[in-house]
Amino acid sequence: MPQTKATPPFTPPIDESQIQISWLDYVDEWGNRFPDGESYSLIYPQVTIPSTAYYVPLEVNGTTIPYGSEIVRLESTIGIYGTGLLDAIPDDSLKAQYEREHRAGVHLNPAMWAGSDWASTGLYGNTRHPKRFTYACSRGPLQDGPGANAIWNITNVTRGDRRYHYMTATYARVASQDPNVQAHFYQYYPQYNTGDVEADIYNYLMSRDLPAEMSNDDYVNLMVWHRGLAVPAARNLSDTVIQRGRQLFREIGCAHCHRPSWTTGPDRFTDPNGFFTTGDRRLPSYPHQKIWPYTDMIQHQLHMQNDIRTGWCRTTPLWGRGLSAICTGSADRMHDCRARNVIEAIMWHGNVQSDARRSVEQFRNLSKADRDAIVKFINAI
Ligand code: HEC
């Protein structure tokens, strides 16, 4: 996840203007055609970053990665509305879903599920939680989820519980030795001046007790908004075509992964970072609600060309996504926005090795009216 912006006198780790994204055509085994002759087109992104774009070498856990050996993938930000509700799904219900899919013979990510129990859970203070947020299922409770972290690590804005930068020692070293940074550093940060400019820059970037740029009140307000951001209501559900689409969506197996509904628990939410107390009354909670996210909260493999990192992707909640075209002018779907409409999104599920292969085979053989009914249903929820 490259940061491509920096405030003066610093230079971003990657020069965004040099990132190249090309969209390549893909022809599936059916020649991008349904049996009744209707065609669709598929494109996917290929990203390259030339070595000149890197201000600092790439590294993983402190080890430098030689230029040219990296693989770059696009991942677009998933909507954060409704995440407060998803956070309120009890851990036990999530576990029951894994157990059900395991018993049904569904191929599950061994990094997540070890046959009869979690393979990995996050240890948060002295409680453990399964990971449910992000495409990679890398985050447990929402208070340690994408929004709570991103407001700090994407913006690099410090706050009361994180009075340090999202930073690597390599970046701090390169910046501290950069003549341009050295020439202007004290203009912006006179309070760090001890006379040794290289050490001053390094110590500023790596400091663990910087002033908080975001107040505690603002962070609380952000999380009230984050947990509270509502899911748009589904629309036109009494329409007979939409009802037909709803029925077919279940019949052909889409609903196995896109599980229609869940029931939230007591919602005694936790905060691994300890900023909020368990069930903190400053934040909204959503106990005992029936919700309709259309996801099993579990990762599957669709085996797409240039697929997501690791190939495992959490089933995207379908709720609200149908309003994207109206609200943004673009109906892009899938983790990297490769699908320009719902039909393309569905056909990207169709690889012979895909966990969703059987439902796509059935989808292909529907009449055009039935395929369109499924699309209409998906856009209505
Ligand atoms: C094996 C599990 C599985 C099955 C079965 C499945 N899906 Fe999916 N679906 C996924 C996953 C995983 C993603 C996210 C893929 C990505 O973004 O790379 C997804 C994404 C989608 C998206 C795009 C969501 C968005 O807005 O980005 C749509 C639409 C969709 N599925 C519809 C369907 C339909 C219709 C069917 C039945 C024909 C179906 N899915 C069957 C797992 C499944």
Q: What is the DSSP string of 242-278?
A: HHHHHHHHHHTTHHHHS---EE--------TTSSSPT
Atom of ligand 1 nearest to the CA of 378: 29
Yes or no: say if 335 and 132 are a contact pair by the CB < 8 Å rule. Answer: no
With 90 as the cut, is the pLDDT of residue 101 above it? yes
Give the Å distance between the CA of 346 and the centre of ligand 1.
Answer: 6
Task: Give per-residue pLDDT as tens, 254-282.
Answer: 999 999 999 999 999 999 888 999 999 99
Residue 123: pLDDT band with limits 50, 70, 90: low
Residue 62: pLDDT band with limits 50, 70, 90: confident
Arithmetic mean of pLDDT, 77-98: 93
Give the Å distance between the CA of 56 and the centre of ligand 1.
Answer: 37
Arithmetic mean of pLDDT, 61-71: 86
Neighbouring CB atoms inside 10 A of 147's CB total: 18
How far apart are the C-alpha atoms of 271 and 254, rounded to whole Å?
33
Q: Is the peptide bond before 9 cis (omega within 30 degrees of 0)?
A: yes
Residue 94: pLDDT band with limits 50, 70, 90: very high
Give the Å distance between the CA of 96 and the centre of ligand 1.
Answer: 21
With 70 as the cut, is the pLDDT of residue 231 above it? yes
Atom of ligand 1 nearest to the CA of 307: 18
Arithmetic mean of pLDDT, 203-222: 97
How far apart are the C-alpha atoms of 197 and 366, rounded to whole Å?
69
Yes or no: say if 157 and 165 are a contact pair by the CB < 8 Å rule. Answer: no
Task: Give per-residue pLDDT as tens, 293-349.
Answer: 999 999 999 999 999 999 999 999 999 999 999 999 999 999 999 999 999 999 999
Per-residue confidence (pLDDT) for residue 10, from 0 to 100: 98
Tokens representing 75 are 């991942």
What are the residue boundaries of the structural domains of the chain, listed by start? 79-159+228-380
For ligand 1, whether the C-beta of 142 sits within 6 Å is no
For ligand 1, whether the C-beta of 370 sits within 6 Å is no
